[in-house]
Structure 1
């Protein structure tokens, strides 16, 4: 097919052609296939004509009945554009521009801790970069471990490692799931180096595929996921500039392959960074950009509303902050199966924890600028609910929410409760390099030492701050 014909074809034409071919190979009529998957034959006809987008649940059923091995789901996940080849130039060179950070000395010898190896994708919220959320088997752990040194090598072993493309992409996704489980719970230098080393190998692989005239779809989707983890790890080490650089690269890769879920979550991380700089305007701009990713995805709308609530709180807009909190709660309550597949971290108790944490933060920010103690008590309630649902492994998040809860009580006019909460974790908080924990501690101390300096408990706590070695950003003059 010519480029002009491809451009004029219906958006789902290739899916329809493949479906028709597979149906005929199976010896089924449209009516027979419709009966097997529980849909009317007229829909099968429209799908084969490329006239409409196939429902996600139907695609899984078609793959199962026609025994395609996930082929149709992969077509749905792939970007719908002119086929990559004749008449189309390679990807923008900026996608393969120099990457941030640098491997630590000896990093090439590091291998990730592969305990808790997943047997199937999605895992730790990571979908298969080729087939989305349909469910893909993961290669053997030992087999993947043998490929990693070759993948990061600069000799002929690199080509050998990348020859089995689907298996290696599945394996690298499983590796990232293991790294998330370990490094996001406890940040270590080797964890950061390993993520970034594998990410560089992935982008090198993507560039090699791109040079052949083929879209490096799976490589770029997975690279966006690795970039997000790299950026979060850099944030946890207090390196906001490198973190933002990784998020920017990840966003460019996600855009290149039309990966809406990755785009939404990367924008949310970028939104967090500008909010930590107290930039209300940029916070709102990123928050609205999240919502513009795809208005049909309720989990995306939930994220957008939560981040807009935080932005309006920074901008002292009480009505808009409360409106977006209410909107977030409404859309969160209506999340469906597709939302939970794409954003499993918004499911069940973990989802409630994340939503209440964001709402507690927005209400606390609002109370801090308005002095409204009723709002502060609501912030304390939301934060306490969130903290109560934390698993023990999320120690850094527990520390952050403890400080936020203490600050909420300081805003509510109860400095004694604030000190009682903060004192046991003071040394750990002061020693932390994580940006969000540092911001929570600064806000708490600003409230306590400005408004409650004469209270006995606060005076004793202030001495503890001095002994813990808190410096300028925590409390000037201490």
Structure 2
């Protein structure tokens, strides 16, 4: 009788093989879990034969441990009366994308954007190997690797033959887009990002049709969809952005990509919050936390968004409770959290956390009229702004306007105007949804509460000269609502 039969666990042979290869590679369960994107407890259950591995995970483990396909063979071996190995479900629409065509970017050569020598980069891990540390192709070779994705008649067999190199090039290129378009706002990579994303999804469909789970393709597709959605938000196109986030969430779920699911839900939550919909904001914020209760960075995000949702509900005690919880969990982030969410660690992490806390306290102060809360909001936003790189212009505008609004809520409209006036023209010219939401809220508050203050009256004149429009709620010229005047 085999050991597997004696153990009573149909996956015991696979588990023993996995344990043997992991130890041979000198990895702990936690280290292997980080590489393949699973918690160490799941690796432990696999090694104990208590869990059926998905084909995508088996492929990852084979690749990460260099088994030459031995784990795949063990997973495919006959066993007792158990259900079949789970495949990526070919549900209707899984390989669809939002309709529409994209034009060429105004600048597509990305000169000046540093090409990452290895992954992870800009918070992106390798779609095949997680945070293991993968070398990227030479930047001069990358265009040829990626050209097959956007060809009129793609040769998917050739792409699959060079799968690791193509996926590494895709991740490296997306890191350039994130740095150039989202962080520095120096370039607009929307068209190139969406064009490559459509090609990746077609490739995933072809791989699936050939009988192999397109794990790496769907994982990189989820990452591209998140960036595409954020780029559309920068253009003020919330509906298209939400469509990309929704598709990305479906792809992340298909391959059980926990980090992608959590961050996509946080982007959706941010969009919902712009509609002042407290119930939906809280629903999505709680969904973030439910993705994985053991990952502290996910718990931190959940608490931050729940704080903002309760602020919209004017619930001061719950808002403050979640702020305290977010700070407490954030202070305990560890190495594994840093590997999965490097953007939530160090100075950048502090900037993000304090910005969200400042936003929640500002919203609460605006709802309750509590000037003590407003001053605490000012302190949090000021701490966030102090950690900010001057090159991150959109974030600089957002935090400057949020700080100004905090002063307006605190009863100091002169300070609010002094902060906002130098960036008014630049803020009025942007379509970025989050910046325009801050601009909209600040102007409405000044008009409602402080219209008689001379500095505010002068600010009003500047505003009317610029003809500021509200990009958040689709209203006509903002001045006609905020200041009660008719404009051309």
TM-score band (shorter)? 0.7 to 0.9
In the TM superposition, residue 183 of structure 1 has moved relative to its aligned partner by 1.1
Once residues 95 and 195 of structure 1 are traced to their aligned partners in structure 2, the CA distance between those partners, rounded to angstroms, is 19
1:82/1:439 Cα in 2 relative to 1: closer, same or farther (>3 Å)?
A: farther
How far is 1:187 from its partner?
4.9
Residue 102 of structure 1 pairs with residue 106 of structure 2: no
Deviation at 1:136, TM superposition (A): 1.4
The whole-number CA distance in structure 1 between the counterparts of 2:367 and 2:182 is: 32
Corresponding position of 2:288: 290
Matching of residues 182-261 of structure 1 within 5 Å: 182-185=180-183, 187=185, 191-261=189-259
- Provide closer, same or farther for how the CA distance between residues 147 and 21 of structure 1 changes in structure 2, counting only shifts above 3 A: closer
TM-score normalised over the length of structure 1: 0.84
Runs of 4+ displaced beyond 6 Å: 10-13, 44-47
1:82-101 pair list within 5 angstroms: 83=85, 91-101=90-100
Cα distance between partner residues in 2 of 1:365 and 1:388: 21
**1:244-295 deviation digits (Å, cap 9, x = unpaired):** 0000000000000000100000000000000001111100000000000000
Counterpart secondary structure, 2:116:
coil
For residues 1-49 of structure 1, give each alpha carbon's deviation from its aligned partner in whole angstroms, at most 9, with x where no partner exists.
Answer: xxxx9xx9577864542343676xx6x9xxx999xx9xxxxxx999754
Deviations along 1:375-419, whole A, 9 cap, x unmatched? 000000100110011012211100000000000000000001000
CA RMSD between the two structures: 3.3
**What residue in structure 2 maps to residue 50 of structure 1?**
49
Contact in 2 for aligned 1:235/1:435 (Cα 8 Å)? yes
What's the CA shift for 1:68? Answer: 3.7
- Quick one: structure 1 residues 358 and 141, their matched pair in 2 at CA, closer, same or farther if it must change by over 3 Å? same
Q: Which ranges of structure 1 fall in alignment gaps of 5 or more residues?
A: 38-43, 54-61, 76-80
Distance in 1 between the 2:68 and 2:137 partners?
A: 18
Residue 352 of structure 1 deviates from its aligned partner by 0.4
Structure 1 residues 12 and 137: alpha-carbon distance in aligned structure 2, compared to 1, 3 A threshold: farther
Q: State how far apart, in whole Å, the 1-side matches of 2:304 and 2:247 are.
A: 24
Cα 1:252–1:10, aligned 2, differ >3 Å: closer, same or farther?
farther
Aligned CA distance change for structure 1 residues 238 and 109 (closer, same or farther; 3 Å): closer
Q: 1:185 offset after TM fit, Å?
A: 3.2
Q: Does 1:388 align with 2:396?
A: no
Give the secondary-structure state (helix, strand or coil) at the position aligned to 1:173: helix
Equivalent pair of 1:113/1:179 in contact (CA under 8 Å) = no
Are residues 10 and 356 of structure 1, via their aligned partners in 2, closer, same or farther at CA, if it must alter by over 3 Å? Answer: farther
SS at the partner of 1:233?
A: helix
Structure 1 residue 473, shift from structure 2 partner: 5.7
Q: CA deviation at 1:70?
A: 9.1
User: What's the secondary structure of 1:258's corresponding residue?
Assistant: coil
Q: Shift in Å at residue 313 of structure 1? A: 0.4
The equivalent of 1:403 in structure 2 is: 401
CA contact 2:96–2:201 (8 Å) conserved in 1: no
Deviation at 1:51, TM superposition (A): 5.2
Deviation at 1:361?
A: 0.1
- Mark the CA change 1:418 to 1:295 in structure 2 (over 3 Å): closer, same or farther: same
Please give the alpha-carbon distance, in whole angstroms, between the structure 2 residues aligned to 1:211 and 1:187.
39
How far 1:100 sits from its partner (Å)? 4.0
Deviation at 1:138, TM superposition (A): 1.4
Query: How far apart in 2 are the matches of 1:444 and 1:108?
Result: 33
SS at structure 1 position matched to 2:359: helix
Q: CA deviation at 1:369?
A: 0.5
Q: Distance in 1 between matches of 2:27 and 2:223?
A: 36
- With over 3 angstroms needed to count, the CA separation of the structure-2 counterparts of 1:277 and 1:45, relative to structure 1, is closer
Q: Which position in structure 1 is the counterpart of 2:57?
A: none
Cα 1:325/1:222, change in 2 over 3 Å: same
**2-structure distance, mates of 1:12, 1:254:** 28
Tell me what 2:56 maps to: none
**Inter-partner Cα distance in structure 1 for 2:328 and 2:12:** 33
Structure 2 residue 434 is the aligned partner of structure 1 residue 436: yes
Q: How many residues align?
A: 440
1:141 match: secondary structure: coil
CA-CA distance at 1:238 after TM superposition: 0.2
